[in-house]
Amino acid sequence: MSGKASNPATRLPSRLNLGVLVSGRGSTLQALIDACAAPDYPARIVLVLSNVASAAALERAAKAGIATAVLEHKTFPSREVFDEAMRARLVAAGADLVCLAGFMRLLSPAFVEAFAGRLINIHPSLLPAFPGLHVHENVLASGVRFTGCSVHFVSAEMDAGPIIVQAAVPVDPSDTAESLGARVIGAEHQCYPLAVRWIAEGRVRINGVRVEVDGAAAAAAPLINPQPTSSISAKK
């Protein structure tokens, strides 16, 4: 990313066209489908592309009347050839913004460069903490009080790139990886459509390693976990 501010997705006269890359069950895709169903939402999904033919996400897309395509990476001689095939499909579909929604493949530098400023991902942690896989297990093993999710522009480095929006999720002492993950997914389903909306409305600018969002309010109060009890507060 350059040090200069740039607008990755200028506001279009019609809805922003989304291409969504998936590999699994598609719960995050469903959140985007539901958001796009609202008449005032400024984006629409024009293609759902998967590298797994059996991905349940494809069924979700078909049920919503969205075009789908399957490109199984194992049938391609290299990652670069596979990524070029994906790029061509997305361009042919008219995708303005590419959303990774549980897409379990590392992207080549050429693909990332082709969609620079127009490629976003959601990760189930407060990046830059806990990148990679097995996030919730690693969170619980670390003893941190908060985790969450991050929507960010994709860079050549895994789970990096300027962050658009984050949501904090408290960690409970009784949490398992499954229970914590379920709450984080709930936050993901709020944050991803919000980030897409901001981009579609032309409110997002990349300025170096930071993202500036016009008209977005940040939380004024600190988030505390665990919460102090009234008795503890009274003693202070």
- The set of catalytic residues is 123
Token readout for 56 is 């349940």
What is the maximal distance between C-alpha atoms in the chain? 67
Q: Among 220, 214, 219, which residue's Cα sits nearest to residue 197?
A: 214
Distance CA 56, CA 157 (A): 28
Smallest CA-to-CA distance from 162 within 1, 3, 39 is with 1
What whole-number distance in Å separates Cα of residue 84 and Cα of residue 64? 27
Tokens 């082709």 correspond to what residue?
Answer: 114
Burial of residue 149 (CB within 10 Å: 0-12, 13-18, 19+) is: buried
